[in-house]
Amino acid sequence: MSLDQLTDEEKHVLLTLSYVDLPNNQRLEGKSLEQIWQTAKYNFDEKDDTYHTLNDFITSRNFENSNLKGVTLVGYENFNPNEMNNSQGKSDSGFVGYAFKDSEDNSVAMFRGSESMGNFGHLKTDWSSNLEAGVGIPIQQQNEANAFYRNYMGDLDGERLVLGHSKGGNLASHVFVENLDDNVKSYVINAAPLYWWDLSDRQKEALKGDRNEFIVFKLDPVSQLGYVPYVDRTVGTKPRDSIFQVFNPFYTHGLAAVGGFDHNGNFSRSEKGANWSRDGINYLTAGLVFGASMTNPVLLKKASIYVQNVTPYIMAAAAKGLARTANYLRDESIKLVARLQQMNQALKSRLNSFFDDVAKKAAGLVAGLAGLMSAGSASAAYVEPVISVDIGRLKYYADRLQNLKRRTSHLNEMIDSLYWEAGILGLTHVLRADLSTSFDHRITQSISYLNNTANLLQRNERYLAQQAHSVRT
C-alpha cells in the first residue's frame, strides 16, 4: 500500500495525529505509526476523541491492509512555547509539523492547527498570527512550514502531499502554492483560507485545480474567514448530543465532528462543492476580511515586512558591486510601498535614503572584510618551523562558538521582530542592529573548521603513533 493512495479516513487519522505531542528526549525518526502511537498514547485520557480516533484505527484489523501500515516518520518539529519544544531554542512560534514516508519514497507532511486559547503561550503565538495571516500579513509559521517541507520532503522522489486542519490548513495551502513546480498536492479540512488578493493568477488556478482538495464540514465558521471559491466537498457532521455542543458555534470545526466513513474509507456523508447558502455567507465574510486588510495599521505592517524582506537582496546586490540591480530593487520597492501606504514626499525621501544607506553599508562592510583577509594572507607568509596544537582547546573553542551561535540566532530573531514594531520610520535604527549580526553564518563555518581540524589532527596523531610503534618493533 502507498501514501499516494490515502483514503479520507486515513488522511483524517493523520490530521488527528498532528495534534499529538511527541517526546523530545528520544529519537523518533524511522519509527512506524504504531510505534509513534505506543509512545504517545499514555498522555491521553481514554475518553478523549483523539485517543478514540487513533487507537481504534491503529489497533483495528483493517489497519494491517491500510496505506498507513509500514510508513515511517522522517521529520517532527515542535516549536510550541512549552516543555515539548524540540527546537533547541531556535523558535517558539507555535509551529508543529510531522513528515512520513513509505517504501517507495512517497511522502506526506501534516501541520497542526491552532491550540487552546486558555494557554497564554498559544494565545500569543497561534491566535495573534491567525489574525495576521487572515488579512494577508506573512507569518513566521508559514515560513517554518515551507522550510519543514523542503527539509524533510525536498529530496524524496515519490508523490508529495501536504495536510492541514484549521490553521494547519492555512500552512499546508501556503506550502502548496509556494511549491507548485514540485507537483505537490494539498488536502485540507476546515482550513483558515489564504489571503486571496495577494495570490498570483497561477496560484489561484492551482487552488481551484485537481491537485488541491479543500474540504469543509457543514456550518464550519473558520473556513469562511476569507474568499474561498474552490470548496471541493462539504461533509456532514455527527448530531450534537449535548447542550454544550448545541450552543458551541465551533462544534463543526473540530475533526471529531466528522459524520463517519464508509467501508472504503470515504466520507459517508458528503456532497460536491459548496451549497448556495455557504457561498452567500462567504461573499459577506470575504468582504469584511478584505475591508480589514485595507486599514492603515495592516497596510503599514505589510509595508514594513516587505522592506524587511527586500533589504537582504539590496545588500547582496550592493556587496557584489551590482549597483544597477540594487537601484532597481530600491526603486521598485518604493513604488510598491507607496501603493500599500499613502506616502508623503518626506517619507518617500526617508525610505529612499534608508535603501541607499543599506547599499553603502553592505558594500563598505564587504570591502573592509576583503582588506582584513588580504592583510591576513600577507602576514601569513612567515611559517613557524614547529606548530603546537592543543586539540582539547580546539574542541573547547568550538563549544564556545556553538553557544555563541545559539545566542546570536536568538538575538537575530529578536531583531527581526523589531521590524514589525518599528514601522518604516524606525527601520534605520533596526538595520544598524541587524547588520551587526548579519554575518553569523561565519560562526557556523568556524565551528566546522575547528571540529574538522581537531578530528584530522587526532587521526594523524593516531597514524603517527602506529607508525612509531611499528618502527620500534
Q: What is the DSSP string of 179-230?
A: TGGGT-EEEEESPPPP-GGGS-HHHHHHHHSTTEEEEEETT-SGGGSS--TT
Residue with cell 511549491: 179
Q: How confident is the model at residue 85 (pLDDT cuts 50, 70, 90)?
A: confident
Q: Return the pLDDT at 247.
A: 81
Cell numbers at residue 455, please? 578530528
CA distance 215 to 178: 20
Burial of 123 (0-12, 13-18, 19+ CB in 10 A): middle
CA distance 112 to 89: 20
Q: Return the pLDDT at 439.
A: 52
> Does residue 99 contact residue 77 with C-beta atoms inside 8 Å?
no
CA distance 256 to 338: 46
Residue-wise pLDDT tens digits, 385-417: 555 667 777 777 777 777 777 777 667 666 666
Which secondary structure element, helix H or strand E, spans residue 312, and what is its range? helix 296-319
CATH code for residues 3-292: 3.40.50
Residue with cell 459517508: 268
CA distance 229 to 282: 9
> Does residue 166 contact residue 114 with C-beta atoms inside 8 Å?
yes
CA distances from 147 to 92, 94, 95, 169, 181 (A): 15, 15, 11, 16, 16
Residue with cell 594572507: 377
Q: How confident is the model at residue 380 (pLDDT cuts 50, 70, 90)?
A: very low
Question: What percentage of the chain exceeds 90 in pLDDT?
Answer: 39
Examine the pLDDT at 303 and tell me if it is beyond 80.
no
Residue-wise pLDDT tens digits, 107-117: 999 999 988 65
Burial of 24 (0-12, 13-18, 19+ CB in 10 A): middle
DSSP string, 392-412: HHHHHHHHHHHHHHHHHHHHH
Q: How confident is the model at residue 381 (pLDDT cuts 50, 70, 90)?
A: very low
Sheet strands side by side (includes 96-101): 72-78, 96-101, 107-111, 160-165, 185-189, 212-217, 233-235, 270-272
Residue with cell 526617508: 350
**Dihedral of alpha carbons 92, 95, 101, 105, sign:** negative
Cell numbers at residue 191, please? 482550513
- Domain ranges (residues) in the chain: 3-292, 295-377, 387-473
Cell numbers at residue 318, please? 550592493
Nearest-5° angle of CA 85, CA 87, CA 91?
Answer: 90
User: Average of pLDDT values for 56-66?
Assistant: 91
Burial 147-180 (b: 16+ CB within 10 A, else e): ebbeebbeebebbbbbbbbbbbbbbbbbbbbbbe
Examine the pLDDT at 23 and tell me if it is beyond 80.
yes
- Residue/partner pairs of 21-25 with CB below 8 Å, 24 or more apart: 21/78, 21/80, 21/84, 22/76, 22/78, 22/84, 24/78, 24/84, 24/85, 24/86
Question: What percentage of the chain exceeds 70 in pLDDT?
Answer: 72
**Dihedral of alpha carbons 179, 180, 182, 183, sign:** positive
Examine the pLDDT at 31 and tell me if it is beyond 90.
yes
CA distance 305 to 319: 22
> Does residue 431 contact residue 350 with C-beta atoms inside 8 Å?
no
Note the pTM of the prediction, 2 decimals.
0.73
Residue 294 phi/psi, 5-degree rounding, is -95, 5
CA distances from 213 to 237, 267, 283, 306, 432 (A): 18, 14, 20, 30, 45
Q: What is the mean pLDDT of the chain?
A: 80
Q: Return the pLDDT at 403.
A: 74
Examine the pLDDT at 323 and tell me if it is beyond 80.
no
Cell numbers at residue 441, please? 553564518
> Does residue 67 contact residue 2 with C-beta atoms inside 8 Å?
yes
Q: Return the pLDDT at 259.
A: 92
CA distance 295 to 297: 6
- Of the candidates 37, 119, 118, 129, the residue with the CA atom closest to the CA atom of residue 91: 129
Residue-wise pLDDT tens digits, 243-292: 888 888 889 999 999 999 999 999 999 999 998 888 889 989 999 998 88
CA distance 444 to 263: 53
